[in-house]
Structure 1
Amino acid sequence: MVFPTSNPSPFIFSALFFFTLLASFPFSTISADLTNLIYKGCANQNFQDPNGTYKKNLKSLFDSLVSQSSQKTYFSSTFGDGQTAIVGTYQCRGDLSTSDCNLCVKNIPALANKLCGEVVAARVQLGGCYLRYEVAGFQQVPGTQFLFKICGKNQASGVSAGFADKRDKAFGMVENGVKNGSAGFYTGTYQSVYILGQCEGNLGSGDCGDCVKIADQRAKSDCNGSFSGQIYLQKCYISYNFYPNGVTSIASSSAIELNKLKRRKQTNKCWK
């Protein structure tokens, strides 16, 4: 997240985002490390905290979220009162067990402190989960606000005739799947296109389907003929991969892509 560099009122912040993409991988990689850092978003403004109230509330919030992650894959909580309150949410990928969810989430508090310091709001996404928090009064962006994208370098050509049609059919599957699936999560394949979609746990099925549909449309326009892509919105994300030689090659293909992405750093800025 990028937060304002001007001097806002103490507790009302403009919801601007800036994401530094540190590492990423296709979510179809079953063996991928759940704790790989994908991106961090840090506020530009630190706590005004002479009494240590925010710091204490943030620690209590982190402790609560980590504890809950051993029981639930999605949870939101608030610590503190009035203008000193801090709201936090975590969510794990829908196919994770609670033990894997806890393994993922418990890494984020230390990372957030290390990467962002004592800022008024932050968001950290790992391979298997994310956690975000903000102080009371933070102005939220719409659930379909675009955050960032990753588009694969491999492009459709003659050898992949019909790719766009296959991808679009897979998009249709995920749009319907998140509405009917468990907790707004869906994975599937359509003729060598692997698709994954997930919505934040508090979205209703209709809003979830609408959010994923917008992410799909964004993938079509921004990633165009890319064989793979990830589109993150505020309340949902999608990931897709096309394997011309069939989905049985997912493991090896994903490993190759992971190694490429680990060597690459990208920066994306979101819109106001």
Structure 2
Amino acid sequence: MLRSLQLESGYRIILALRLSSLLILFSSVLSAHGYPSRAHIFIYAACSQEKYQPNSPFEGNLNSFLSSVVSSFSDVTYNSFAIGNGSSTPQEGNVYGLYQCRGDLHPVDCSKCVGRLVNQIGLVCPYALGASLQLEGCLVRYEHAGDFLGKLDTSLRYKKCSKAVTSDVEFFRRRDDVLADLQTANGFRVSSSGLVEGFAQCLGDLSVSDCSSCLADAVGKLKSLCGSAATADVFLGQCYARYWASGYYDESDSSNNDQVGKSVAIIVGVFAGLAVLVVLLSICKKAAG
């Protein structure tokens, strides 16, 4: 009788531990794949002052542009469109636009990022004849005129500078190595030197020479506007560049994104603990009986 109870108790303990392991494994899978991606973090928006009228030819072509973006972003990370140009639509209804994902973004994350932009751009810039919306991982832009496509634009759209690192000579040497490497990018590039990392990207419609010019301007602004910052971002009209010291980058911005993951981990931990508790109480009850 006692041996039978011991065997049954041992079996229940093993079962509880296996259940706990499965729950912990489930938690780790959620941690890896279920947390919100950083790609959705808002960077900047630019909306024209000019507005279009509801139910106008422009609105119809804008909806066609956004539909075209949704149908194509799963295939390529950059694309441009001209809607209404050369058709029977009045010229004031023409829509020119593009989208682009960051070069290292997984296709699934790219599609989610651009899909979010398509859903948000009308809310952020209602009835705007021109708009740009930049998230961490992707950009969507449209205009009434198409002269911006392929045209070098180094106007400053956004900058972010962290606190200064005033006396670390090694950091500045490594940072300058990274920035020099990023200036030679043709499209998208990641670079690192020691504990300093960075990446840069141009829009897909820029030529190689214009991309180099844009990135040179971005790097120059990183140094002049952010000085000795430990991490800095600069977004220009058609390119951006960023560097950071390892272990420092975006710690404050990522705190909100971690809340969902922390909640999942807490819930799974509670269920695992309850499973073990229920089994142990059952064993104690039988032993006492």
Q: 1:203: which partner in 2?
A: 206
State the superposition RMSD in angstroms: 2.4
Whether 1:39 aligns to 2:49 is no
Whether 1:239 aligns to 2:249 is no
Whether 1:173 aligns to 2:199 is no
Distance 2:111 2:58 in 1: 24
- Structure 1 pair 254/219, CA: closer, same or farther in 2 (3 Å)? closer
Q: 1:55: which partner in 2?
A: 59
User: Contact 1:84–1:136 (CA<8 Å) still a contact in 2?
Assistant: no
**Higher relative helix content:** 2
Whether 1:257 aligns to 2:266 is no
Whether 1:222 aligns to 2:230 is no
Using the size of structure 1 for normalisation, the TM-score is 0.73
Paired AA for residue 39 in structure 1 = Y
Offset of 1:40 from its aligned partner? 1.2
SS of equivalent residue, structure 1 residue 240: strand
Offset of 1:195 from its aligned partner? 1.0
- Which aligned runs of 4 or more in structure 1 are off by greater than 3 angstroms? 137-142, 259-262
Distance 1:208 1:138 in 2: 17
Map residues 83-102 of structure 1 onto 2, 5 A cutoff: 83-102=92-111
Kindly provide the CA deviation profile for residues 197-222 of structure 1, in whole angstroms up to 9, marking residues without a partner as x: 00000122222122111110111111
- Structure 1 pair 254/228, CA: closer, same or farther in 2 (3 Å)? closer
Offset of 1:85 from its aligned partner? 0.6
Offset of 1:117 from its aligned partner? 0.6
Distance 1:215 1:104 in 2: 24
**Higher relative strand content:** 1
Runs (5+) with no aligned partner, structure 2: 1-35, 86-90, 258-289
Runs (5+) with no aligned partner, structure 1: 1-30, 263-272
Higher RCO (C-alpha 8 Å, min separation 6): 1
Offset of 1:96 from its aligned partner? 1.5
Distance 2:256 2:243 in 1: 15
Map residues 16-31 of structure 1 onto 2, 5 A cutoff: none
Using the size of structure 2 for normalisation, the TM-score is 0.69
Q: How many residues in Structure 1 have an aligned counterpart in Structure 2?
A: 217
Distance 1:92 1:139 in 2: 18
